Structure 1
Amino acid sequence: MFKKLARAAVAFGAGAMLVGAQTGTAHAAGPSTLGGGSGIIVGDQGICTLTTIGRDAADRLVGLTAGHCGEAGTEVVSEADRDAGVVGTFAYTYTDMDYAVIEFDPGKVVPVNRVGNTMITGLGGPARFPDIACKQGYTTGQTCGLTYGDVFRSNTWTWTQICVLPGDSGGPVTVGTTLVGMVNGYLSVPCLGPQLGGTMAAIIADINARGGVGAGFHPI
């Protein structure tokens, strides 16, 4: 049986979504440092995690997160720098693949390629059995586990034995320093898993096919 996460959760396919409640204290205002694994406050929907940040083919500063975190036009605030105010806006969300593209204000964001113990140097994947994949999430930080692979045989979703909790939605899933996916949900019990995540190769291919904001994305 698949479980859902209270008020902040959104049912999705075979798993439950991981959107955390808004909590914490304000910090000094200023440009917000953001990278894959940073916590973001998404409108009034709660806290999610940024998957990655970088530039698209038009040199726009853009990032990715889970699609269930917000809709097009939803404003984004850095969880660590709330007093800095709105730093970006959801450009669009694709529900079927559960990803969203965020366009950031380059004057309000300092993009980085490392958050906590997770560094992103490129895109690749998908992860396959028996890879050890790790994720960086707002709630649980870095956790790692065995990759089970694409059990749906869709080339879109990957199961991993990674601990995830509310607030980790959108968190980058990496093998080494290569970004291979994002956190989207879990099966049955949080942190007992397994975790369901979209594959980065499929997400990037879809973004490129659409054109516009995010097309030609490459991480910082």
Structure 2
Amino acid sequence: MAKRIAVLIAMAAAVLGYLGVGPAAAAAPAVLGGGSGIILANEALCTLTTIGHDNAGRLVGITAGHCGEPGAEIVPEHREDAGVVGHLVAKSTDLDYAVIQFDPAKVAPVNRIGKVTITNVGAPANFPDIVCKEGLRTGNTCGVAWGDLLQSHETWTQMCVIEGDSGSPVVRGTTLVGMVNAYVGFACLGPELGTNLDSIMNDINAHGGVGAGYRPI
């Protein structure tokens, strides 16, 4: 009888293995890059500006500051099954940016999402440069850069953006020059304005800590 039970158990195990039933496998890392949608604190939908490493080798990213508060959990919008892949660790209200630290075991960083590729960070765009962005809500859109109309740290452009595109990377070619923060008047009609990436990098480096010495993937 004992031998018969053992045989039955072995047969059941073989059948379950054939059917793919067994211990749950760990979720594959989520692919994330500048232009990926992210969910913050299980409520806010925004877009990741860029992902890379800081001078301590940490996997970090940047998004718009109004998207969340320090401690907010980050879940990929397109891969919610991946669960929490990072946390917002710092933000600037003045420049409206936030720094995210990712779990490298849960994220596969890339430098291209949609039609936007990021190879480096550069100086702000100026008229009549054409810039493009990749966002969660409106995807890839392009438009002329009007420049810094207020003599501040922001650049105005004529790209189509709506809610959910906050944090989208703004590129001139493959150079990351800014992020999407807001629009003026009506979505996709009024101009977009966003913080220049060189201003963000200077501020992060001045404060030190997570994100200092950032370089994109």
TM range (shorter): 0.7 to 0.9
- After TM superposition, give the deviation of residue 41 of structure 1 in Å: 0.5
- After TM superposition, give the deviation of residue 99 of structure 1 in Å: 0.0
Structure 1 length normalisation: TM-score?
A: 0.86
Structure 2 length normalisation: TM-score?
A: 0.87
Aligned AA for 1:204?
Answer: M
Provide Cα deviations, 1:42-71, integer angstroms capped at 9, x if missing partner: 113321000000000000000000000000
Q: Does 1:65 align with 2:63?
A: yes
SS at match of 1:144: strand
Contact 2:143 2:159 (C-alpha < 8 Å) held by counterparts = yes
Structure with greater proportional helix content: 2
Using the alignment, how far apart are the partners of 2:158 and 2:35 within structure 1? 18
Contact 2:36 2:136 (C-alpha < 8 Å) held by counterparts = yes
Using the alignment, how far apart are the partners of 1:66 and 1:111 within structure 2? 19
Using the alignment, how far apart are the partners of 2:46 and 2:213 within structure 1? 24
Q: Which residue of 1 aligns with 2:75?
A: 77
Contact 1:98 1:184 (C-alpha < 8 Å) held by counterparts = yes
Contact 1:164 1:191 (C-alpha < 8 Å) held by counterparts = yes
Q: Which residue of 1 aligns with 2:8?
A: none
Find 1:166's aligned residue among 145, 163, 166. Answer: 163
Contact 1:56 1:216 (C-alpha < 8 Å) held by counterparts = yes
Within 5 A, what are the aligned runs for 1:143-158? 143-154=141-152, 156-158=153-155
Contact 2:44 2:68 (C-alpha < 8 Å) held by counterparts = no
**Which segments of 5 or more consecutive residues in structure 2 lack a partner in the other structure?**
1-25
Larger Rg: 2
Aligned AA for 1:78?
Answer: P
Using the alignment, how far apart are the partners of 2:35 and 2:50 within structure 1? 7
Provide Cα deviations, 1:68-106, integer angstroms capped at 9, x if missing partner: 000000000001110110000001111110000000000
Q: Which residue of 2 aligns with 1:183?
A: 180
Using the alignment, how far apart are the partners of 2:190 and 2:70 within structure 1? 30
Within 5 A, what are the aligned runs for 1:1-220? 29-154=27-152, 156-220=153-217
Structure with greater proportional strand content: 1
- Following TM superposition, where does structure 1 have runs of at least 4 consecutive aligned residues deviating by more than 3 angstroms? none
Question: What's the % identity of the aligned pairs?
Answer: 62
In angstroms, what is the RMSD of aligned CA positions?
Answer: 1.0
Q: Which has the higher contact order (CA 8 A, sep 6+)?
A: 1
Using the alignment, how far apart are the partners of 2:71 and 2:143 within structure 1? 35
Using the alignment, how far apart are the partners of 2:87 and 2:42 within structure 1? 13
- After TM superposition, give the deviation of residue 139 of structure 1 in Å: 0.7
SS at match of 1:188: coil
